[in-house]
Amino acid sequence: MCDLGHPHEHKAFGYLVDTPEIRALIDETRRLTAEIGDTAARCDAMKPAFATLLASDGWLPEAYGAPDAASGMGGGIGQYALYRAEDGSLTLFSLVIPAGAETPVHDHLAWGLIGVYRGRQRETVYHRRDDGSDAARADLEVAREQTLETGEFYALLPPRDDIHFVKTVSEVPSVSLHLLANDTACVWRHRFHPDTGTVTAFRSGYSNAPCPPETA
């Protein structure tokens, strides 16, 4: 379920957190998306605006940098929509992972930028060894691991490196910012179980906004 029982004090789409910093990033992303057809080149061009948001203080509401005990991802992980395009073409959200907690192994199914706003994260990226023809199974191998400090970020260009899990390795919850070209928490994605090779469909849901009615 996407509606996790939280009061929805803000509108479901548009600027759920309306600040000059977020508007500047979204405006620049829209401009570059219209001007640059190549996804990798577009992400490179977006990096300065994204880095500016990561380096800015004071714009993120305290509640959207806190864990969520009712999380759809489990483990107290909070996923807070900051901006959502109503057509599902773009979202900006904060992902809060408590100290010592980790996400499930999952994918995103969208290009974009991901960076650490607070704390420190350890990311484990997987590659598929199978051809993906069986939707219920995946043969995964660890491709790489990296530690991300506050202010560091990377481009996500599926299908390359789209399967990963993230663990907070700082003593405080980590907060990462995700600027992705879909309505990430409300689309059907994949949760991977490397030990068994099984794959299950899931929607993580936002902690502060409802998803549309169930659609695949």
The whole-number pLDDT of residue 10 equals: 52
Is 1 among the domain residues?
Answer: no
Cβ count near 161 (within 10 Å): 18
The whole-number pLDDT of residue 75 equals: 87
pTM score of the predicted model: 0.91
Q: What is the mean pLDDT of each run of 10 residues along the chain (216 residues)?
A: 39 94 97 97 97 96 93 89 96 97 96 97 96 93 96 95 96 98 96 96 93 68
The total number of structural domains in the chain stands at 1
* Structural domain for 109, as ranges: 14-202
Q: Which backbone phi and psi does 32 adopt, to 5 degrees? A: -70, -35
Reference 188, options 215, 166, 212, 209; nearest CA is: 215
The whole-number pLDDT of residue 214 equals: 66
CA 103 to chain centroid: 11
CATH number at residue 158: 2.60.120.10
Give the bridge partners for 147, in sequence order.
122
Is 2 among the domain residues?
Answer: no
The whole-number pLDDT of residue 84 equals: 97
Is 215 among the domain residues?
Answer: no
The whole-number pLDDT of residue 151 equals: 96
Where does 31-188 show beta strands of DSSP type E?
A: 78-84, 91-97, 105-106, 112-118, 121-128, 140-148, 153-156, 163-168, 174-180
Cβ count near 152 (within 10 Å): 15
Is 179 among the domain residues?
Answer: yes
Task: Output the CA torsion 178→46→160→97 (10° steps).
Answer: -20
The whole-number pLDDT of residue 1 equals: 29
The whole-number pLDDT of residue 8 equals: 40
Give the bridge partners for 94, in sequence order.
80, 177
Is 3 among the domain residues?
Answer: no
The whole-number pLDDT of residue 213 equals: 78
Is 132 among the domain residues?
Answer: yes
Is 209 among the domain residues?
Answer: no
Is 67 among the domain residues?
Answer: yes
